[in-house]
Copies of this chain bind each other. A is one copy, B any other.
Amino acid sequence: MSLLTIGTVAFDTIETPFGRAERVVGGACTYISWAASYFTNDINLVSIVGDDFPDDEIKALEARGVDMSGLEIVEGKKSFFWEGKYHENMNNRDTIATELNVLADFDPVLPESFKDSQYVMLGNLTPEIQIKVMDQLTKPKLVVMDTMNFWMDIAMDTLKKAITRVDVLTINDEEARQLSGEYSLVNAAAKIHEMGPTYLIIKKGEHGALLFHEGNIFSAPALPLARVNDPTGAGDSFAGGFIGYLAKTDDISFENMKRAIIMGSVTASFCVEEFSIGKLKSLNQEDIKRRVEAFKALVSFDL
């Protein structure tokens, strides 16, 4: 089934305890699309860049089955840029610089052929833009939305309006607590379900992810890794693997959502091993399969 991805396509400068990468390719939509491309080659990308964005990066995504006709290229302007520095523990980071550039005027207009996309991944953006995209969709089968505490701080009302219209919300544990006002994640999930989403995914980074649905909970671990070079894009790679698998299998039951969570965990585990999309660009189906087996081994017990 067709998958629509929307979010930033951008440059990042990233410093972690293991190195530094200058003006490398980043952006939520980039990570989502690369991760999803290992499960489906029917992807419609919607984003915006300046004329500084490398053509071969666009061609590389096209070669993976991503329709790039929804990528607006603004002549004479620069792409969105983010610079961040990770702390020793890699769970915290400081934003050093944010340059909105083309993103300041982003007003996505979906190509006609994108409007009937069945699976929709709204990457982290202003809730206004996420709503504008939903307004243009004819009848999506599943809308997944990612967001962050920043929008809860400055645009909670609009964010809540957006949330009423989505099927799956992906946020981290602190954001779930902020959004719901509940400390217990079980109680937070119950309140967030009342806001609209029938599925809630709580991303916990190196501690894995939780899926909540109608009183049921699924817990997926993260794969313990010998080296994490760069956590940037882990959540987006998770979202991409998750929705890519759903679009491929076209099954939105709780049981299949669990499988999709594992696929998201798999793509996220690859993402963090190298800076930028270095590792995500170089995978094959055998790599995916082997890591799925590693996840099965990691949690399997017989009682």
- The chain A residues found within 8 Å of chain B, CB to CB, are 17, 88-90, 183-187, 204, 207-208, 210, 216-221, 224-228, 255, 258-259, 261-262, 292, 296-299, 301-303
Contacts and interface: CB of A to CB of B under 8 A. Distances in A.
8 contacts: A184-B224, A210-B224, A216-B297, A218-B298, A218-B301, A220-B301, A259-B302, A262-B303
Nearest to A219: B221
Contacts of A299: 218-220, 299
B226 A298 contact: no
Contacts of A207: 204, 207-208
B184 A302 contact: no
B298 A217 contact: yes
B303 A225 contact: no
Nearest to A261: B301
Given A184-B226, A184-B228, 18 more contacts: A185-B224, A186-B226, A187-B226, A204-B207, A210-B224, A217-B224, A218-B298, A218-B301, A219-B221, A219-B224, A219-B298, A220-B301, A221-B221, A255-B301, A259-B301, A259-B303, A262-B303, A296-B303
In terms of DSSP, what is the predominant structure of the interface of chain A? mixed
A186 B302 contact: no
B184 A227 contact: yes
A186 B216 CA distance: 31
A244 to B, nearest CB: 15
Contacts of A208: 207, 219, 221
A89 B184 CA distance: 9
A295 to B, nearest CB: 9
A212 to B, nearest CB: 8
A149 to B, nearest CB: 15
Nearest to A297: B216
Contacts of A259: 301-303
A282 to B, nearest CB: 22
A297 to B, nearest CB: 8
B292 A303 contact: yes
Contacts of A303: 259, 262, 292, 296
Residue in A219, A226, A227, A292 whose Cβ sees the most chain B Cβ within 10 Å: A219
Contacts of A186: 224-226
Contacts of A218: 298-299, 301
Nearest to A258: B301
B219 A17 contact: no
Contacts of A296: 303
Given A224-B217, A259-B303, A303-B262, A183 B298 contact: no
Contacts of A219: 208, 221, 224, 298-299
